[in-house]
Amino acid sequence: MKNVVILGSTGSIGKSTIEVIEANKDDFFIAGLVAKSNEKLLTEQAEKFNVKNVCLTDQTSKNEKFISESKMEDLIVGDQVDIVVAAISGVVGLKTILKAVKAGKRVLIANKEPLVAAGEILMREAEKYNSEIIPIDSEHCAIHQCLQNIDKKDLSKVIITCSGGPFLGKKQKDLKEISIEDALNHPVWKMGNKNLIDSATLMNKALEIIEAKWLFNLSSEEIDVIIHPQSIIHSMIETTDHSILAVLSEPDMKICIAYGLGYPNKIKSLSKPLNLIENNLLEFIDINEIDFPSIKFARDALVSGGIMPAVMNAANEIAVERFINNEIKFDLIFDIIEHVMEKFDIEESIIDPTLDQIINADEKARLTSVKYINNIQ
């Protein structure tokens, strides 16, 4: 029996994780649940699965049954927990994830931001403390599977696939009057609002390039991104003999969650099997980096190194938040990220940052983003 703590249990990944654990209840037990503000659902989850350690991080609740964040962290680093599922959007929870890594836990990372902001630190500490970091987003989970029993010297490159989002084929001039409803209308995936907007701007792929670099020890040149609208192939690798290995499945996050929980064994995922006859069309399209410059932002951030990936991520989070709140136009998301990255590249470059310096850069980039938005309105 493995004991699991879920960070972000009321979000889409958190809820799916609970479903997978329920389907494999003889093998897993929910030891702790953490959510930001959805007290009602968090309480229902705790009662249904008899979870004693429950934490609401916004600290507005007067429910005496909830424990503090520090007590939850004590639980995570203790002997009672085997697996931590990190499914909180943004860099929130980065310190908790790092503590889990230093405690030698298996950490399943669903959100991209911790590895984008502090991937070098997380992977270095994981090796030092014998912690397993297993990605459970569809793309990196697929790469993780493809790389099993493949020597690094035999790897030519990884190929991250991209659905293209709701605006596949659109030009920059078409993006000025995009509505929030349009941007949230993903043709394939059901996700939280932040991830849906990142998919619309292709910033999700920018984040995934940086994530792949740290997870799999790759250079930017060893990471390709192509559009695959059907989202059946979740990612691929090419070996030095020019063979291509791929993972195909229904677009269902529960498959990735089950992979991470059960690895190296297979457990029930609750996903339906992929019908190859019904899904017999597999298309591949180049990304238009002129109209969707997110990929360029990621590669520039890797060239600059240091705090720049965290800066890029922070600017994006603020821009997405303001767009969802109907405070800026869709196309301004790109302008905000570009402005903040240029400003930091000139004034604030730190090549080998500590975690505190990364967190400080994140905070400063957010303030810079807000200031820029206020100035252009």
102: domain CATH number? 3.40.50.720
Q: Which helix (H) or strand (E) holds 151?
A: none
pLDDT per residue over 305-340, tens digit each?
999 999 999 999 999 999 999 999 999 999 999 999
Q: Please report whether residue 258 resides in a domain.
A: no
Same-domain status, 124 and 205: no
Q: Which helix (H) or strand (E) holds 46?
A: helix 39-48
Same-domain status, 128 and 179: no
Same-domain status, 210 and 331: yes
The pLDDT, as a whole number, for residue 192 is: 80
Residue with tokens 């429950």: 54
Same-domain status, 241 and 130: no
Q: Please report whether residue 276 resides in a domain.
A: no
* Distance in angstroms (rounded) separating the CA atoms of residues 313 and 366: 9
Q: Provide the strand spans (E) within the chain.
A: 2-7, 28-35, 53-56, 83-86, 106-109, 132-135, 155-162, 223-227, 233-239, 244-248
Q: Please report whether residue 278 resides in a domain.
A: no
The pLDDT, as a whole number, for residue 356 is: 92
Q: Are 214 and 33 in contact (CB under 8 A)?
A: no
The pLDDT, as a whole number, for residue 88 is: 86
Same-domain status, 333 and 230: yes
Same-domain status, 114 and 185: no
Same-domain status, 227 and 336: yes
Q: Identify the CATH number of the domain in which residue 227 sits.
A: 1.10.1740.10
* Distance in angstroms (rounded) separating the CA atoms of residues 236 and 155: 11
Residue with tokens 């009662």: 47
Q: How long is the chain? A: 377
* Distance in angstroms (rounded) separating the CA atoms of residues 292 and 297: 10
Q: Please report whether residue 148 resides in a domain.
A: no
Q: Which of 136, 171, 187 is the last residue of a domain?
A: 136
* Distance in angstroms (rounded) separating the CA atoms of residues 368 and 361: 10
- Total structural domains within the chain: 2
Same-domain status, 206 and 124: no
Q: For the whole model, what pTM was predicted?
A: 0.93
Q: Are 255 and 269 in contact (CB under 8 A)?
A: yes
The pLDDT, as a whole number, for residue 377 is: 73
Q: Are 159 and 234 in contact (CB under 8 A)?
A: no
Q: Please report whether residue 145 resides in a domain.
A: no
Q: Are 126 and 132 in contact (CB under 8 A)?
A: yes
The pLDDT, as a whole number, for residue 93 is: 83
Same-domain status, 89 and 166: no
Question: What are 307's two structure tokens?
Answer: 């705090």
Q: Which of 89, 105, 136 is the last residue of a domain?
A: 136
- Domain residues for the domain of 39 are 2-136
Same-domain status, 109 and 192: no
Question: What are 172's two structure tokens?
Answer: 């920059």
State mean pLDDT over 72-89: 95
